[in-house]
Structure formats: structure tokens, C-alpha cells
Amino acid sequence: MPKSGPKQQLFEQFARIGKALSNANRLEILEFLGQRECGVDELAALCRLSVANTSQHLQQLRQAGLVTSDKRGQRVLYRLSGDDVVQLLLILRRVGSSHLAEVKQLIHHYFTIKDDLEAIPARELLDRVKTAQVTVVDVRPAKEYRAGHLCGAINIPLNELEARLAELPPGQQVVAYCRGPHCMLSYDAVEKLRREGYDARRLEDGYPEWKAAGMPVETAL
Amino acid sequence: MPKSGPKQQLFEQFARIGKALSNANRLEILEFLGQRECGVDELAALCRLSVANTSQHLQQLRQAGLVTSDKRGQRVLYRLSGDDVVQLLLILRRVGSSHLAEVKQLIHHYFTIKDDLEAIPARELLDRVKTAQVTVVDVRPAKEYRAGHLCGAINIPLNELEARLAELPPGQQVVAYCRGPHCMLSYDAVEKLRREGYDARRLEDGYPEWKAAGMPVETAL
DNA sequence: ATAATATTCAATTGATTACTTGAATTATGA
DNA sequence: TCATAATTCAAGTAATCAATTGAATATTAT
């Protein structure tokens, strides 16, 4: 019989989630899983970790309730437990961005310097898409695009952008998005697009945040 | 020069917040600070921790950006850094409630059993208050009520409830609230009120969540 | 039946964390 | 000036954590 009351026991349980979020590698794993479900070996490669280490982090995330797994043959595929996990990660970033000087500094030196134009909020993009005056480009790798993307978005992975500029309708504004608020892909994309004379902006959110907010998405599976 | 990229550095920073949330005592401290600003000795007493231990936890919370402090004479008063911290704690609870079997079990055995009627959502209470058919009762200690409470709420701390029943308008429904979704005060209050024949319900949120959602509050300072 | 693949488990090591205890610091009151 | 109060710091101890290494397990392909 636990010696503490229900309140303390609940705090112990919620602390498990805090523990799961207390390691930078696990946060990175969660960001990748926000884009699509993955196996251990893929996540290990994406995060540049050993397979054993990745597997242990995944066990911790699963035990904290942040991810689920299901076996397909000899492969185990992991995914986020729900959109509420995306929202938890988003508010974690927001709190960090608001209250941690180191976060503000990192964002300024690596992100704001690259694109000091305000990113477009999700609601505003939804409105503009309806007037068909804008091209939405998903600059994540194709696998992530196929797993899920904004309705109507086209996929031009960043490393193919220069070769595929002709696919963009001339004269239209381009809005690029990627994995999330602090993913560099859309910053780099916007930089390249502007260099080629395009009117380019970034979306404020990545795909997981857009989806978690209930905005329209589709898959290409 | 750090060896990892800006992304990894950002994850390290966000992980600091995860670390701050990875201890049950710190979560309890944050819940109390959600009600009102406090000194170290008060928090130590509320949480049943030593003063030194409480102070160390507060340093960690401050360094993670979750609380701020300011000195008044020889006392240091701590408070939450912003409503975004309340929202972080709320989504932490939601994720735990949705995805952790132990949390569901604890909630069922200690909370749902006491009051299996659905708590009233904040929006619904706001609407009902406008038609003046309901009495909103804050059952937290008076100090917390004075620091901030729902507009129009009266304060009858739980331990004074039986002695002050006459203050409740006869024939009206009573909605009780306290510190947050898993605080027992409003459960106990509703239980006592129903035993005395009142039509009593609980509010879904506590005061901090209501305030963080932008709902109307007032203070009695 | 065996080899290969994918994943997980277990033990070890070094680092980190939580709490305690006692000391140090800072501010106030007598 | 000195005592008290409030808070923080530092060191020590035990427990926990992250990564590595090697072994074990489960599934698939030959």
C-alpha cells in the first residue's frame, strides 16, 4: 500500500511523463514519430543513435504512454499515442521559447536570422488557401509527406527544390512547411526560393501541429 | 563550440523543462504556485518537504523557466512564469489521463467513485452564470481565494462548509471548484453538499486552468 | 534446418539526481 | 552590535539514468 495519498501517486505518474521528456534524444525521436510511424532501425539512423539505445528510449516512451507499438512481421512500428502528445510537445516548446534565455538565443542565431519575416499562422493559411492564391509546399522527405500532409500541399523535398522549381505556378506566393516550429527545412527552403525570386513564406507550424489542431490533412498511402 | 546542431541544442534546452517536470514534488510545488505566489517556508509546509529540499527544487524550476522569484525584504516569493506553464501542466495531466493505465486506475478509485457525474466544462459554467441560476463556490483556503478566483465566486473553504451552509442561496445549484482537475477539495465539497440535500456539481478545471484559458477572474487583495 | 534480420534484454560504467545535514548568506528586529 | 529569521549553498550518500557491449529472442528467407 503506497504511503502517500492519491494526489501524490498521481504526481508520481505524471512525473513519469516528465522523465520521458527529460532527454534530448527522446524529444528528437518524438519529433520524427510526429511525422510518421517508424521502425527502430529507421529511428536509430535518423537520430544517429545505436539501435540498442534507440530501443531503450522507445521502451521508456512507451511506458510513459507517449508512443505505442505494433508488430508487423519481424518489424515493430512505433507511433505517437495521440495528437495530445503533439500538443504536449508544442506547449513544451512554447514554454521554452518564452522563458528560457538559451532557447531565445538559439532561435535568434539559427532561425530568426534566416527568416525574420513572421511565419504564417495556421488559420491564416487555411483562409488563403481557400482563395487559391497560394502554393503550399511540404519540403519534408517524401515518406513523411506520404504518411500525412496538409490538404492540397505538394511535396518537393528540400534537396530536390532547385531541380523542381518549374513545378511551382509562376507568380504565386509559396508557403513552405516541414516538421515543426524548429525544423530547419522550411527555413532553408524559403531562403532558396527567395534567392530565385519567389515570394516565399514559412508556415508557423509543422505538419503534426497542424493535424493536432484539427486542420484538414490527407495521406498519399 | 557545441558539437551538435541547433536542433539538438534546442532539444537539450526543452529537455531541461522535461527534467523539471520529472519529479512528483516539483509537480506539487507547481500546483500550489498555480493558486498563488508563495515563499519557501510556506511551500515546504504545504508539500511536507524540508526547507532546504524545497529551495533546491525551486532553483531547478526557476532555471527551467517555469517559475520566477522576487525578493520582498528577507522573503523570496515564487510564482509561475506564466499561464503557459499552467497549460503545460494541464496537457501533461491530459496525456497521462489518456495513455497511462495507472492514472486511469487512480482516477477511477479515488475520484470517479466519489463523483461520477461529469464535471461542468468551463464554457458551460460561464454561460450558466450569466443566467444567474447557479452559485459558484471556491472551496480552496481563503489565501488562495484572495490571490485570485473566478469572477462572482464565493469562498467557503472546505473545512468551513458545514458551518456555513446558510450562506448558500436556497434552491440554487452549486458548482464547486478548487485547485485543479485532480484536487480532492471539490470532490469532498460536492459529497458534503449532496448529503445536505443540495444540487451540487464540480467544475472541470481548477482556478489556474480557468484563468489560463482567458476566463474572467478577480482578486480580493 | 540454418542463416540472416530486426529487436530487445541484461550487465556494466560513468554521470546525474534527490534528499539530508550543516554551514553560509542576507535581511530584519531588538 | 547581536540575535533571529529566511533562504541558499555545499558536501555526502544512495538511487537513478544514458550509453555501450554482448547476448538473447522472434521472425523471415534460403
Structural domain spans, chain B: 6-81, 112-218
Average pLDDT over chain B, rounded to an integer: 93
Q: Do B21 and A16 touch (CB under 8 A)?
A: no
Lowest pLDDT segment from A112-116, A216-220, B8-12, B25-29: A112-116
Q: Report the percent of chain B where pLDDT is more than 70.
A: 99
Give B-chain residues touching A85 at CB under 8 angstroms. Answer: 95, 99
**From residues 77-116 of A, which are strand D contacts by CB within 7 A?**
none
Distance CA B61, CA B170 (A): 45
- What letter would DSSP give residue A211? H
Q: Which of residues 53-82 of B touch strand D (CB under 7 A)?
A: 55-56, 58-59, 69, 74-76
Share of chain B above pLDDT 90, in %: 86
- Whether the per-residue pLDDT at B113 is higher than 90: the answer is no
Gap between the Cα atoms of A143 and B11, Å rounded = 23
Scanning chain B, the segments in alpha helix (DSSP H) are 6-20, 24-35, 40-47, 51-63, 83-99, 101-107, 122-130, 142-147, 185-195, 207-212
A103·B13 Cβ contact <8 A: yes
**Which sign does the torsion angle of CA A154, A158, A160, A161 carry?**
positive
**CA of A107 vs C1' of C17, distance in Å?**
29
pLDDT for A1 equals 35
Query: What is the C-alpha separation between A197 and B152, in angstroms, rounded?
Result: 57
**Do B6-81 and B112-218 agree at the fold level?**
no
**Residue B130 binned pLDDT confidence (cut-offs 50, 70, 90):** confident
Closest residue in chain B to residue A111, using alpha carbons only: B6
Nearest CA among B121, B142, B115 for reference residue B200: B115
CB–CB of A92 and B14 under 8 A?
yes
pLDDT at position B157 over 90: yes
Q: Name the pLDDT band for B102 (thresholds 50, 70, 90).
A: very high
pLDDT the model gives residue A62:
97
Query: CB distance from B97 to chain A under 8 Å?
Result: no
**Residues 157-216 of B, Cβ under 7 A from nucleic strand D:** none
- Name chain B contacts of A48, Cβ cutoff 8 Å: none
What is the distance between the alpha carbons of residues A104 and A98, in angstroms, rounded to a whole number? Answer: 8
Report angle CA A73, A74, A80 to the nearest 5 degrees.
85
A150 within 8 A of A136, measured Cβ to Cβ = yes
Q: Which residue has the higher pLDDT, B69 or A115?
A: B69
Query: Measured between alpha carbons, how far is residue A153 from residues A130, A170, A174, A191 in Å?
Result: 13, 16, 11, 19
Nearest chain A residue to B110 by CA: give it. A6
Please report which helix (H) or strand (E) contains residue B78, including its range.
strand B75-80
* pLDDT at residue number B171: 84
The nearest alpha carbon in chain A to B47 belongs to: A8
User: Quick check: B12 pLDDT over 60?
Assistant: yes
pLDDT for B185: 95
Confidence of residue B14 (pLDDT cuts 50, 70, 90): very high
Give the tens place of pLDDT for each residue, A35-88. 999 999 999 999 999 999 999 999 999 999 999 999 998 999 999 999 999 999
Using the Cβ of A113 and the Cβ atoms of chain B, whether some distance falls under 8 Å is answered with no
- CA dist A139 and A135 (Å) reads 12
Q: Which of A1, A4, A7 is most worth mutating to test chain B (most B CB atoms within 10 A of its CB)? A: A7
What is the CATH architecture assignment of A114-218?
3-Layer(aba) Sandwich (3.40)
Residues A177/A186, Cβ–Cβ less than 8 Å: yes
For residue B2, what pLDDT is reported? 43
Cell of B151: 469572477
Strand C bases within 7 angstroms of protein beta carbons: 5-10, 17-23, 26-28
Q: Which of A171, A182, A172, A174 is nearest to A204 (CA)?
A: A182
Q: Beta carbon of A59 within 7 Å of strand C?
A: yes
Query: For the domain B112-218, what is the CATH code?
Result: 3.40.250.10
Instruction: Judge whether residue B152 has pLDDT over 60.
Output: yes
Task: Report residue B170's pLDDT band, with 50, 70 and 90 as the boundaries.
Answer: confident
pLDDT at B1: 35
Asked if the Cβ–Cβ distance from A17 to B96 is below 8 Å, we say: yes
Range A20-56 burial, b when 16+ CB lie within 10 A, else e:
bbbbbbbbbbbbbbbbbbbbbebbbebbebeeeebbe
Residue A100: strand, helix, or coil: coil
CATH architecture assignment, domain B6-81: Orthogonal Bundle (1.10)
| Chain A residue numbers touching B104 (CB-CB < 8 A) | none
Whether residue B47 lies in the annotated active site? no
Q: Quick one: pLDDT band at residue B175, thresholds 50, 70, 90? A: very high
> Which residues of chain B have a CB within 8 Å of the CB of A47?
none
Q: Which of B18, B102, B110 sits opposite A18 (nearest CB)?
A: B18
Flag residues of chain A having pLDDT under 50: 1-2
* Whole-number distance in Å between A28 CA and C8 C1': 21
Segment B178-191 shows an average pLDDT of 94
Quick check: A20 contacting B, CB < 8 Å? yes
> Nearest residue on chain B to A11, judged by CA atoms?
B24
Q: Do B91 and A93 touch (CB under 8 A)?
A: no
